Structure 1
């Protein structure tokens, strides 16, 4: 198993998110491959050119395009379980919904209410951050991360902003979101991914034994929850999200929670002002509950597009 560029999974979910769902169907316990995609309007020459582009010009190691419940195009080893990097938070957001809706997780609870603290202590204003702030990446807590991957180089000084008032892509927030999930529900994140998602979606490659928390507890007590999925199993997650949380006439994630997850909490304007890494890239991203939101006004095909 090798670690891969996050683009693998970004492309899976992005492509799925902008395809019409009117004619979508679901795969069985195994994916089927459409051997004649040209009959569904696909240009074979263009697909070959696309494959060459991926090979020559990207770091993508696994990708699928799905139409009508079948794989139209695939690249790389789509069965290999790989480290999905920041996509973990969007998966966590999915499993949050059940417990927000049944009241076990109260998004208005503050860090103080939850009894949370960290190495060296959190300050009074930081303890006013709510769970909602945390899963929106708007906690205003700029304690060091025990697991790198955030954008803390752009963080304001500690205690300089009120919780909820400022967006920053921060692994402190995302790791605490995982801790809060387990504290409030009494459930293990990975066990819940298995029971809420892997089993009902008939994932073919999910391996519970690969899933383990990581982090430097001398820096922060809140561990990260890395996840390992195969490309074809991530495609099942994307297809379910296209159907507003439904899979084969069964509601896997409450449709209202799906809507909540992908409701904009941070605008592209604020995001670019706070973290200028996307400026002049041609991409405009908003942010929801641990989901990125496409907001490209000049490209109608991206309307409603989401990715993790």
Structure 2
């Protein structure tokens, strides 16, 4: 645990120099990028998978599944229960049968929606997703030691055409490696979030939300693990 005020640590407990893996943070960052490009008119959240010509390997998407909209994928309510790259066993065990639910009628946390969102983002914006992350978020928040060249697509062609991604590291059982970005100049009482596309402003004494979709608040000395398009956050 670490607490900061005006960019300075005033309380810590435990080993604050050890990296801890925290899953399921990519949705927040990807949602932030979607929000930015939605406001610019580059992405239609009401577009269906059929409109966007999004499909998958055999057995491909059904007519019903293709009616899922982008906003359904962003909220894990697509109704698409196709296999996905980089699924864990819990996702596999809990995945409903194909055709069990129509789009926007059932929440199921899954990788297919998020992986497909990566495909859609690059298709609709013409931007590589980590280049966009660097420009719109990492640079704005003044993260250091960041390079989008550190990441690559991870495909599981026997499951899906939409990739997830990893940074393999033989020293870690999890197969992920910290890239060691640090927020070095953003005091916790100063908002960078409005320029990051969330439209949230703050004044001294107010807390700024960097990514409003999941309420993620970023302060100094935060180290991030990124993969493409799967990524995680760890606090240092």
Q: TM-score, normalised by structure 2?
A: 0.70
Q: How many aligned positions are there?
A: 196
| Aligned counterparts of 1:231 and 1:129: Cα–Cα separation in 2 | 35
Matched residue, 1:155: 95
> Of 44, 47, 53, which aligns to 1:115?
53
Does 1:210 find its partner at 2:150? yes
Contact 1:175–1:225 (CA under 8 A) maintained in structure 2: no
Query: 1:236-279: per-residue Cα shift (whole Å, max 9, x none)?
Result: 6x959x94814xxxx222317x99x75xxxxxxxxxxxxxxxxx
Unaligned stretches of 5+ residues in structure 1 = 1-62, 263-288, 294-307
Larger Rg over CA atoms = 1
Q: 3-state DSSP class of the match of 2:10? A: strand
| Aligned counterparts of 2:31 and 2:80: Cα–Cα separation in 1 | 20
Unaligned stretches of 5+ residues in structure 2 = 168-177, 201-207, 217-232
Matched residue, 1:171: 111
Contact 1:146–1:220 (CA under 8 A) maintained in structure 2: yes
Query: 1:67-114: per-residue Cα shift (whole Å, max 9, x none)?
Result: 222233454437x7x876422221111111121111110000001001
Does 1:180 find its partner at 2:120? yes
| Aligned counterparts of 1:210 and 1:180: Cα–Cα separation in 2 | 22
Does 1:65 find its partner at 2:3? yes
State the 1:185 CA deviation. Answer: 0.2
| Aligned counterparts of 2:96 and 2:85: Cα–Cα separation in 1 | 18
> Of 68, 88, 91, which aligns to 2:26?
88
Which stretch shows the higher mean deviation, 107-116 or 197-206?
A: 197-206
Matched residue, 1:26: none
CA distance 1:115–1:235, shift in 2 (3 Å): farther
| Aligned counterparts of 1:153 and 1:231: Cα–Cα separation in 2 | 35
| Aligned counterparts of 1:235 and 1:153: Cα–Cα separation in 2 | 44
State the 1:226 CA deviation. Answer: 4.7
Matched residue, 2:134: 194
Matched residue, 1:141: 80
State the 1:229 CA deviation. Answer: 4.6
Matched residue, 1:254: 198
Does 1:230 find its partner at 2:180? yes
Which structure has greater helix proportion? Answer: 1
CA distance 1:173–1:197, shift in 2 (3 Å): same
Q: 3-state DSSP class of the match of 1:174? A: helix
Matched residue, 1:128: 67
Contact 1:135–1:174 (CA under 8 A) maintained in structure 2: yes
Q: TM-score, normalised by structure 1?
A: 0.55
For the aligned residues, what is the CA RMSD? 3.3
